[in-house]
Amino acid sequence: MNPVDGNFKNDTCMETTWNGSEAIHASHIYFHIPFCVSLCQYCDFISFTGKANLIDFYVDKLIEEMDFFPISRSLKTIYFGGGTPSLLEPHHLEKILHAVQNKYHLEGHAEISMESNPETVDFEKLKAYRRCGVTRLSLGAQAFQTNVLQQLGRQHDWHRIQCAFEDARKSGFENINLDIMMGLPFQTSDQFKKTIQEALKLNPDHLSIYALQVEAGTPLSTRIKNGLTLPDDDQVADEYMWVQDILQSNGFDQYEVSNFSKIGKHCRHNWAIWRGDNYIGLGVGAVGTVGTIRYSHRDSLKEFLQIRNGHFSTFLDQEFLPLQTRQVERVMLELRTSQGVLKSNLDFVFQDRQKKTFFEHLISQKYIVQRGDYYVVQPEKFFVLSGILDKII
């Protein structure tokens, strides 16, 4: 992997709020597609069911919103996330990407990633996505066992995942990710391991292994309050170490706490964001960060569709990010990556004596080691990393 520029920078002329008038120095765009067939038990992403009839209007509004973000740099990555972006028909995608080409400059080898759910794609659709320019497909697989998938509220079984994966390969996708969950309340360790083994049989280019986060207000959190038990931390830690080993022996590079890829198949979009690059987010609920501004869209689909005359600023909540805050955030994200954080950046961020002392303690305990000019978290310590970062910050 080629590390991107490792130095902190504040490369924008914007300062406190964004009103759509200045050129934006960003090379990455995220489109949020907030539609799903049904809601999963654990999900707190911004998504709506039963609204597929609004997708045409939503696509037009996304295109209109691009004018509010006049990007001056060439685009290196585009990411369609959701929700379920694969509810977009190929003509929707074509329309969006055509607008991107017209309004911005898209690099010839740009990465165009798309999240998808297996039950919403088939060979013809995937072939059309590929023809539109999508280069990377991320399939929400989650688990091998049908009863586990049902408990999660997923709409597919493993056979459907296999079919979608094979259709994607036949359509020409050379970079396919599978999302898998771990730490589930209704899955044993053996079942989790079986999921990984079955996933490996498909020969994916990338695996994202996410530990379950129980989000307040979800049906799953209610079930847990009512007595459903989660696996204990030791079990999840064992599964995590097992997965690190098996993926490493199958040729995967762990480039982030939850992400493993074959050589050259890492997600360039996410990598850029973890390394502190500016990015634009478009659509309901989408977040973007440019220089000293973090903005987020509200989560009302109705309000978004009713925006008139390009008044997108009325739909955004904006936050001024002091350089110091952004740099601390960046350190947190960089420590989650295999590359780690540039030593000189830490020197700058940890001017606070207490944080510096704590960091030195982590180094002396070998949680964090120095590798060249970088400090990196030891892969076997990734599991406890979030606790470490909370303490540092």
Which spans of this chain sit near ligand SF4 (rule: CB under 6 A)? Answer: 36, 39-40, 43, 45, 47, 82-84, 117, 140
**With respect to ligand SF4, which residue has the nearer C-beta, 6 or 185?**
185
Nearest CB to ligand SF4, comparing residues 33 and 368: 33
| Contact between residue 374 and residue 339 where contact means Cβ atoms under 8 Å apart | yes
Cβ proximity to ligand SF4: between 133 and 153 the closer is 153
Show the tokens assigned to 13.
């002329």
Q: Measured from the CB of residue 80, what is the shortest distance to ligand SF4 in angstroms?
A: 12
CB of 201 to ligand SF4, least distance (A): 24
Q: How many helices (H) and strands (E) does the chain have?
A: 14, 17
Radius of gyration of the chain (CA): 21
For residue 76, what are the CA distances in angstroms to 27, 35, 207, 352?
5, 26, 22, 36
- Cα–Cα nearest to 315, from 270, 362, 277, 283: 283
For ligand SF4, which is the closer residue by CB, 107 or 215? 215
Q: Is the bond leading into 83 cis (omega within 30 degrees of zero)?
A: yes
Nearest distance from C-beta of residue 107 to ligand SF4, angstroms? 28
Nearer to ligand SF4, 84 or 187 (CB): 84
Minimum gap (Å) between residue 324 Cβ and ligand SF4: 34
Q: Which of 221, 215, 269, 175 is nearest to 47 (CA)?
A: 215
In whole angstroms, how close is the CB of 109 to ligand SF4 at the nearest point?
Answer: 29
Long-range contacts, stretch 343-346, CB < 8 angstroms, 24+ apart = 343/370, 343/373, 343/374, 343/375, 344/7, 344/373, 345/6, 345/7, 345/8, 346/375
Helices (H), the chain: 55-66, 90-103, 123-132, 146-152, 158-170, 189-201, 219-225, 233-249, 268-274, 301-305, 323-335, 343-349, 353-364, 385-392
Minimal distance, residue 44 CB to ligand SF4, in Å: 8
Q: Decide whether 33 or 71 has the Cβ nearer to ligand SF4.
A: 33
Q: Which is nearer to ligand SF4, 84 or 145 (CB)?
A: 84
- In angstroms, the Cα distances linking 58 to 20, 78, 283, 314 are 20, 18, 8, 17
Q: Please report how close the Cβ of residue 40 comes to ligand SF4 at its closest, in angstroms.
A: 3
**307 is written with which tokens?**
């925006």
Nearer to ligand SF4, 39 or 321 (CB): 39
Which contiguous run of DSSP H or E holds residue 369? strand 368-371
Shortest approach of ligand SF4 to residue 178 CB, angstroms? Answer: 14
CB closer to ligand SF4, 150 vs 313: 150
CB of 45 to ligand SF4, least distance (A): 4
Which of 312, 318, 316 shows the shortest CA–CA distance to 62? 312
